[in-house]
Structure formats: structure tokens, C-alpha cells
Amino acid sequence: MPEESEYVRPPAVAGLFYSLSSGELRSSVNELLAGARGDVIDEPPENISIIISPHAGYLYSGFTAAHAYSLLHKHQFKTVIVISPSHREYFEGLSVFSGKAYSTPLGEIEIDGEIRRKFMRSAGKFAVESQLGHKTEHAVEVQLPFLQETLGDFQLVSVVMGDQKREYCTALGKVLSEFVGDPDILLVASSDLSHYYDYETANVMDEICIQDIQRLDAEALADDLENRRCEACGGGTIVACLQAAKSEGLSKASILYHCNSGDTSGDKSAVVGYLSAVIS
């Protein structure tokens, strides 16, 4: 086992959430991107600073995610900060990946040590630099092939929220405000929406999230999540990004695509909601 600082995190869900073959993965990602570009956007947003993207298997949420990533072809970002919930490990606060790189079948993505150090200084007691929450977490990983195909060469900072209570969302939002608006940095909030309601109920709940995001209203979204008026498994990542966006004067949230698993599987009895959006 290499020293923690030299650790390269291997793909954990290749062959499950997306193809293990580099050729097949590249082909499928580019097919999804091409399909998303075919959807007409009247006024494509410029100066994108934040993406909200789902994190299910590509069969279910890949087309939704592609709507956001397809807009990056005119952008050049040196660093991407991906923030995700923790699905498999509970811990207090935030865990910032301590290793050297993440890898996917498309290659390694180096960690930006300078931005990671800046993040840790700002986060203080709320964050630890570790592999906690990272080794088997899919919600960061599934974003990476899209980023590799659209941005090419970039560096990564991977942040996993072990607990999404409001205290941590607020702390994270303050940290992210230092990076929002930097033309070299993109933020990605990784989140699905409602889980396992019938099709109609899911759409009603998801619409509440969508309206809060469109208004860039972090407090309303936090309230709606806490009171179960809507659901998002990575809701804390979205709340923190909305807070950062509003504090730094970002003014436009564009909802690009929304669907749920019932639209792809045909089973509408218990669905999972997916959303892609950009803030600019």
C-alpha cells in the first residue's frame, strides 16, 4: 500500500455504473453528450461556475448529466471541485481526498494540491484530509468520465459530505464562496433527487427542489429538505453551492433537464429523480 499522499484511487463502480472498457466508456459518454447537444437551449448559459449533476448508473441518469456537461465545450477549467454525499460511510463534517489522483478507465486525474490546501485552510475544523468516504463512493466517480471527455486535462479536488446537516452546509458554502466565480475553477454538486416514490409524487417533490434552485434560494431548499417537502440525496451539496453562488453575486440558474428512472425503465411505481442544472 503506497503512502496516503501517493495513493491513486482506483475506479470502484466501473463495470457497474458505466463501462469498464475505456473504448466503450468513451463511446457511450460521447453518445450521451451528442444526444444532449441535440436538445435546443434557447440561450446557452455563459460563464458557468457550478454544475448540478446526478450520480446514478449512466443507463438511468447519464443523459440527464450530459445536458450539463455538454455545455463545457466552450470552457477551460484548470481545476474541478466535486462535492458529493457519502452513501456508504457516516462521519461528521467533510472529507477531502488526501491521495495523489483518482483514476477511471479513461486515465488518472491528478489532485490539485494547492487548491486542496486552500480548501482545508478555509474549512478548518469542519474538514479532514483523508480517504474516509472516498474509496467506494460512486457519487464523485461517475462525474469524472464526463469531465475527462469534455475538459480533457484538468485537476481535481474531491470532497465528500459525511453529514449534511445545516451546520456543515453553511460551513461548506462559506468555503466554496472563495472559489465561485474563479474562471479556472468549476464546482460540481453531485446529487439525485427523490427516491422510491410513485412517478407522480416524485415529480411533485422534485419540482419543489427545482423551484428553489431556480431562485438560488439555499435557505428555502434547506427548509424544504429538512421538512421532507422534497428530497435530494446530495441536497447538502446543492444547498452549499447555492449559498456560495448567491454570496458571490451569481444570478442565473438554468434547469437543463429533469426526469426520473421511470422514464427510462418504464417502471413508475418507485422511481428516483434526476436533474441537471448550471449556475452562471
Provide Rg for the chain, Cα atoms: 17
The pLDDT score that the predictor gives to residue 264 is 87
Residue pLDDT tens, the chain, 280 long: 457 889 999 999 999 999 999 999 999 999 999 999 877 566 677 789 999 999 999 999 999 999 999 999 878 899 999 999 999 999 999 999 999 999 999 999 999 999 999 999 999 999 999 999 999 999 999 999 999 999 999 999 999 999 999 999 999 999 999 999 899 999 999 999 999 999 999 999 999 999 999 999 999 999 999 999 999 999 999 999 999 999 999 989 999 999 999 998 899 999 999 999 999 9
CA 147/CA 106 separation, integer angstroms: 11
- DSSP one-letter code for 163: -
pTM for the model stands at 0.96
Closest CA to 136 of 24, 232, 17: 17
The pLDDT score that the predictor gives to residue 1 is 42
**The domain defined by 45-279 carries CATH number 3.40.570.10:** no
Grid cell locating 111: 489532485
CA 169/CA 93 separation, integer angstroms: 9
The pLDDT score that the predictor gives to residue 38 is 76
Helix (H, G, I), strand (E, B) or coil at 114: helix
Contact 32, 58 (CB under 8 A): yes
